[in-house]
Structure 1
Amino acid sequence: MRPYLIPQLLDRAVERTPHAVALVEPKKGATPWTYADLDRESLRVATALAELDVGPGDLVGICMEKTVTAVAGVYGILRRGAAYVPIDPSMPRPRAEKILANAGIAVTITTPDRLGFFDEARAQAPALSRVLVTGAVPDGAPTGLTTASLASFAPELRSIRHVTGGYLAYVLHTSGSTGQPKGVAITHDNCLAFVEPATSRFSITAADRLACQAPLHFDLSVFDLYCAALAGAAVVILPEHFSAFPKKMTQAIADHGVTIWNSVVSALALLADKGGLADAKRDSLRAVIFSGERMPIPLLRRLRDILPAAKLYNVYGQTEANSSLVEEIGDIPNDDGASLPLGRPLPNFETFLIDEAGKVIDDAEATGELCVRAGTVASGGYLRDEGRSKEKFILDPRLPETGMRVYRTGDLARRDASGELTFAGRRDDMIKTRGYRVELGEVQAAFDRVAEIVESAVIAVPNPAIGYELRAFVQLSPTATLTPAEIASRISEGLPAYMVPERIEVRDALPRTSTGKIDKKALAAETT
């Protein structure tokens, strides 16, 4: 019988191979956790949450660095029939307060040093009343919160009744254009509809070791944690701060025999350019999966040279529908500015294009907005945001009578005569400058063609005189010496003058979001 709740993945791994390694932390003196260890500690969390009156349908915050204890916390929340809401421990308190308030969170799991943080957050998130800490409750802890220590509970509680696959499993918050984070509400059914075909597609077995580079609040962690559990494989947990020290990530690959790497493109660029991947022991890697950002063709060539035996995969998806399309890289295009195919749908997934009026485009060759229909599409829509949910999670225009909803990605895709899809930009990335319509993705592609550029970001800055002006930020390879004027000259070979950014700035590194992507909002903020 197939699992219908995420904790059943762990249950079955314990039944099959209780002493197999489940979690590894790449730090000195750390003892790997077996599946029996993870099971025991998740039960401890579930028992503690029961004492704090957490039950089916509740939303529980979890705010801590990614560790074996954090993973046990996630499973413990799920064992109570509740849903976990990850809160990035590095995020500013105002944003955390918005998440706490929007989700109506009453109970949070965190570390003792963050008790003061949550006590102060109660002013904007009044529902918050109870905190479970992973260590001892410190002397002088805030008195406004009911506080309990995880260590004081025995691992007893296991089964939860009256929970079905339609219950929420987790809520992941993404950036919202209004400044209010969007909570994407994912059920157990939604999650498992992705985990099962993904585990099969990448042939994950108990012999694999998956590197978990993404933080818990990023949906790539879903693949790492739950595909591994389904297969009985091990997860090598890379702490968030490793992203600032790419050589530590490379060392973890070598030391722990990582076989599957899954990350955003930016993290792979760091491994290749600053992590010493070419000089490290890397023979264990059999699959390298990248998503979330455009893959520059020069970087793809370097990865193929460094990892000739590994299969490379371009994966397309969103938090709202998870990863839906997969393309195994074969021949690499000669054009440095080429876009990789988005790939073919996983089982349980279907994609199609619609025009600006929301009508399905049936033409064999066409460009339109990409829609995803799948069991993974967030059944809960955006948490407590009915208006935005109706806008993005629409009735399937082909079969509206079924009531089945599809997700409007906002991505433009180009379909060729063979049915292959390539990314063609974002609807919200189309701007006007000097009366011309400009797709920022096309300008970005021109920078990708410059071999000396490691990474770049193109942003549009409002200018009343011309509509928008373009600015670009680039990071060069260590040996490159290009000036902004020389870069402008290079990209103007393939772009009209009105598409060449007015200002190009060379930087040692580009800012990152907490999920590892280039932080374009931070760059835009610098221009105001």
Structure 2
Amino acid sequence: MSADPEPTVLPLDHLALRGDPDADALVLRDRVLSYKELNRRIGALAAWLCAQVPDPGARIATWLPKTEIACLMPLAAVRAGLVHVPVNPLLKRAQVAHIIGDCGAAMLVSNKARLATLEAGDAAQAIVVEEGEARNAVDAATEILPPSGETADRLAAILYTSGSTGRPKGVMLSNANLWLGAASVAGYLGVGPHDRTLAVLPFAFDYGQNQLLSTWYAGGAVVPLDYLMPRDVVKAVAKHAITTLAAVPPLWVQLVEQDWPQDAAGSLRRLTNSGGALTPDLVRALRTLFPAADLYPMYGLTEAFRSTYLDPSLVDTHPTSIGKAIPFAEIMVVADSGKEAAPGEEGELVHAGPLVAQGYWQDAERTAERFRPAPPWSRHGGLAVWSGDRVRRDGDGLLYFVGRRDAMIKTSGNRVSPQEVEDAAVATGLVAEAVAIGVADPALGQAIHLVARASGDPAKAEAGLVPALTRMLPNFMVPRMVHWRQAMPIGPNGKIDRVALAAQLREQVNA
């Protein structure tokens, strides 16, 4: 565990008080909010939320692109004594309905186009509000809630993440989890009041939301961006003199292929990566294109926010390492024997300390599987997150990712549950059996391949499956390729032999 002392934990909405009142805090398309204006508009939104949803602890879901309301809500919900549930704007009706129902959202804030895709009963228990109504209320507000006095362990947010099986599960994050996450990242990145962060990642991800929180902790400015093409990112970096850019490997691959103006490339001071490993070739490309920028490879999981980062000075000599523990995290490697793994020995990464989340929302069984007592030698003790990820530590203490114990597919920076894809395929009525497998892909990290057996006319199934899945699933979950089988291989336990099927498929793809 880091020896750094933990800062005083304040309610999350106090981040709006961290910067110079007259300094830029949030750069929107139509206006720039200073820290003074940011704090006022958070207070106005919080007052409106209290009037609409007076029950403390109620969940407020947002299904939005990176608008002002999406940026304000993580802090405004806390100020109102409520819990924010950001929904990935890429998700479609079925996934959104599950999240709204699972968290028992009292309110859903979205835009007209997204709300039009919902069906009767999808948000039956929630007050459904178009985003414009919330913004109009903030613009016209006469009541402003002052900074809150919420406790450190009070639930502040629920972030939904896919599991290796089943539907997405909600990770419960406290004020302390989010505050210390912001302090940790701002600290080891060296972010300061003069920095400007281009927020390109979805706020529904812990990595994406931290773009806001860590920058505001440091008193800097955030420029939210919903981009259509990689070129949009280049233009935004140049226009706003961006100093900090966070991305996932597939986006970095696209960005290094762009023609970067010298002033844009030169303005960047730090690049951060998570959501998948950087290849040595990509590391070299980034270091060549952005020579003035420090590169921070990182590893994390939503259940504990962030676990490790690699010091930029070690990137060139150790390009495949995930580094060491971030401040406020204790990272252990547990061998299969249950003892602490020796240098070079493979084991499970276990994360303890104050960044560990409070568990999964209303899911005691899965909470007990992932959140278990820390190993006996832990300096921090208490509950730890047993990641299921296999790592090894070298003689210098640097960690290296080995593989995942579960079947999670990581594609385009997104964690995808194979079962979600499989369930959707069967739900089309065109497929009797389906297995989703991640296959290594240089652009995506992993590409989703689906092995399927038709339930009826094979020609009809082959023609209709991908269009049907495209209507049902977000784009990143739609299989890149479907492989049709007349029969699935069966293992000794009577179930589909996924290991054999994956081996066959990868051999076929790589042939």
Task: Give the TM interval when normalised to the shorter protein.
Answer: 0.7 to 0.9
Cα-to-partner distance string for 1:126-179 (whole Å, 9 max, x where unaligned): 421x23433259xxxxxxxxx995555434222445x31111111111113333
The one-letter code sitting in structure 2 at the alignment partner of 1:221 is G
The corresponding residue for 1:252 is 236
1:399 deviates by 6.1
The corresponding residue for 2:446 is 457
1:89 deviates by 3.2
State the distance in 1 between where 2:483 and 2:385 align. Answer: 33
Residues 1:353 and 2:333 are matched in the alignment: yes
The unaligned stretches of length 5 or more in structure 2 are 1-6, 410-436, 454-472, 485-511
State the distance in 2 between where 1:281 and 1:157 align. Answer: 39
State the distance in 2 between where 1:394 and 1:309 align. Answer: 42
Cα-to-partner distance string for 1:27-57 (whole Å, 9 max, x where unaligned): 4xx2211112222221121111111133432
Residues 1:182 and 2:169 are matched in the alignment: yes
SS at match of 1:376: coil
Given that 1:104 and 1:125 are in contact with CA atoms closer than 8 Å, whether structure 2 keeps it comes out as no
State the distance in 1 between where 2:75 and 2:40 align. Answer: 10
1:231 deviates by 1.4
Residues 1:5 and 2:11 are matched in the alignment: yes
SS at match of 2:306: strand
SS at match of 1:156: coil
The one-letter code sitting in structure 2 at the alignment partner of 1:127 is Q
The corresponding residue for 2:146 is 158
Residues 1:419 and 2:397 are matched in the alignment: yes
Given that 1:290 and 1:313 are in contact with CA atoms closer than 8 Å, whether structure 2 keeps it comes out as yes
State the distance in 2 between where 1:351 and 1:10 align. Answer: 31
Q: 1:397 and 1:107, CA in 2 relative to 1: closer, same or farther beyond 3 A?
A: same
The one-letter code sitting in structure 2 at the alignment partner of 1:77 is A
SS at match of 1:342: strand
State the distance in 1 between where 2:293 and 2:378 align. Answer: 43
Q: 1:167 aligns with which of 129, 145, 154?
A: 154
Count of residues paired in the alignment: 432
Given that 2:279 and 2:320 are in contact with CA atoms closer than 8 Å, whether structure 1 keeps it comes out as no
Within-5 A mapping of 1:290-439: 290-330=273-313, 340-356=320-336, 359-379=338-358, 381-398=359-376, 404-429=382-407
The corresponding residue for 2:214 is 227
> What percent of counterpart residues are identical?
28
State the distance in 2 between where 1:109 and 1:373 align. Answer: 34
**TM-score normalized with structure 1 length:** 0.74
1:12 deviates by 3.5
The corresponding residue for 1:523 is 479
1:245 deviates by 0.6
Q: 1:112 and 1:455, CA in 2 relative to 1: closer, same or farther beyond 3 A?
A: closer
Cα-to-partner distance string for 1:312-351 (whole Å, 9 max, x where unaligned): 11111111111121102446669xxx86111111221111
Runs of 4+ in structure 1 over 4 Å off = 112-118, 147-152, 331-334, 399-403, 453-456, 458-464
The one-letter code sitting in structure 2 at the alignment partner of 1:63 is W
State the distance in 2 between where 1:134 and 1:105 align. Answer: 16
Given that 1:212 and 1:235 are in contact with CA atoms closer than 8 Å, whether structure 2 keeps it comes out as yes
Higher alpha-carbon deviation: 63-72 or 455-464: 455-464
**TM-score normalized with structure 2 length:** 0.77
The one-letter code sitting in structure 2 at the alignment partner of 1:135 is G
SS at match of 1:84: strand
1:69 deviates by 2.8
The unaligned stretches of length 5 or more in structure 1 are 138-146, 432-439, 448-452, 465-512
Within-5 A mapping of 1:122-161: 123-128=121-126, 130-136=127-133, 151=139, 153-160=141-148
The corresponding residue for 1:281 is 264
1:411 deviates by 1.0
1:462 deviates by 6.1
Residues 1:269 and 2:253 are matched in the alignment: yes
State the distance in 1 between where 2:199 and 2:298 align. Answer: 16
More relative contact order, 1 or 2 (CA 8 Å, 6+ apart)? 2
State the distance in 2 between where 1:4 and 1:166 align. Answer: 10
1:412 deviates by 0.6
The one-letter code sitting in structure 2 at the alignment partner of 1:393 is F
Give the RMSD, CA atoms, in angstroms.
Answer: 3.1
Given that 1:132 and 1:149 are in contact with CA atoms closer than 8 Å, whether structure 2 keeps it comes out as no
Q: 1:115 and 1:454, CA in 2 relative to 1: closer, same or farther beyond 3 A?
A: closer
Q: 1:401 and 1:215, CA in 2 relative to 1: closer, same or farther beyond 3 A?
A: closer
State the distance in 1 between where 2:376 and 2:159 align. Answer: 29
SS at match of 2:142: coil
Given that 2:21 and 2:34 are in contact with CA atoms closer than 8 Å, whether structure 1 keeps it comes out as yes
The one-letter code sitting in structure 1 at the alignment partner of 2:243 is T
The corresponding residue for 2:23 is 20
Q: 1:355 and 1:284, CA in 2 relative to 1: closer, same or farther beyond 3 A?
A: same
1:109 deviates by 2.3
Given that 2:181 and 2:305 are in contact with CA atoms closer than 8 Å, whether structure 1 keeps it comes out as yes
Q: 1:80 and 1:55, CA in 2 relative to 1: closer, same or farther beyond 3 A?
A: farther
Cα-to-partner distance string for 1:105-141 (whole Å, 9 max, x where unaligned): 11122234545455x35x144421x23433259xxxx
Q: 1:149 and 1:5, CA in 2 relative to 1: closer, same or farther beyond 3 A?
A: closer
State the distance in 2 between where 1:280 and 1:400 align. Answer: 47
Cα-to-partner distance string for 1:489-520 (whole Å, 9 max, x where unaligned): xxxxxxxxxxxxxxxxxxxxxxxx97xxx94x
